[in-house]
Structure 1
Amino acid sequence: MLNRIILIGRLTADPELRYTPTGTAVASFTLAVDRPRANQQGERETDFINIVVWQKLGELCAQYLKKGRLAAVEGRLQIRSYENKEGQRVRVAEVVADNVRFLDRGDSTGGGGFEGSGAGFGGGFGGNQGFGGNNNKRGSNFDDDPFVDDGKPIDISDDDLPF
């Protein structure tokens, strides 16, 4: 069985950071993700997907992500239900993030590119390693990536491609 989600979108608001009674950090935010095809009227539709990020990675998201920032999220889909104030049962779908990658430069942070693993934050942050890596480098930013914001096409011959 497999339950993996990878999303790229923009935050609709600043992340909300809370702590459980035992002191575990949990951040939540909504990611606006465009659908790949236009509807019958020729307009692009957007899905608004709730994201939950635990522990140190949640604190980093709350610190560095802001409304409008572009982010990639990798995690699992979780469906949960609760009873609202009116006594009605409500079902909620959300993505519990294992990795979050900040894809653009924030005006106030001067950098980006933090990535982490939600399992005890074992993945470190600051990677140019992409999803799924266990990157323990610290302090890296987009300046380490030779392909960020270059604006020029990459000249690669077909012979150099592995596929």
Structure 2
Amino acid sequence: MKKIRRLIVSFGSVVLLMANCTVRSDSSLERGDQLKAVYLFNFTKYISWPDSSFESKSEKISICVDAPAVFREFLGEIINNKRVGEAQQLLEVVSLDVAVDCELIYLVKRDNKLPRTLNNSVIVTDSGDNYFPETEIKFYILDKKLRFEIDLDKFKKKNITVSSELLKLAKIK
């Protein structure tokens, strides 16, 4: 019961995080995109990559995104100096254009260039067509609320562990 409360509090902090984060850009970020950024941050708390997935155990988890700069800035402010996982790895946001290795990849557009190493990357796509067949997590809208779907079989194939706490919030494919 404590774990469920902790998870609800973690995802419930979305509103507080968004209220405390100010985007340093002339253009504003839509509320739906703000929620997606917070979800991406929270996904890193409940996903475990195998130690063997990286050439050398990195001190960072890279979240690579193909979204506009304002989205990357907002996500960067959310994860600023935060650490996750048992190894307390530091999070970083990287533009997909310059990314080499990524643990979490967020794809918005169809015409994206993916990093060479995808074997142990978790791919998250935006709502709409599931245009990338290797997607593990897909955002969608249901009853005017942002939700996400997890393809558990694809996680298992990559030997990446998803917390049961996260699975309780997701639609399982």
Which category of TM-score, normalised to the shorter sequence, fits these structures? under 0.3
Q: Higher relative contact order by CA 8 Å / sep ≥ 6: 1 or 2?
A: 2
TM-score by length of 1: 0.27
TM-score by length of 2: 0.26
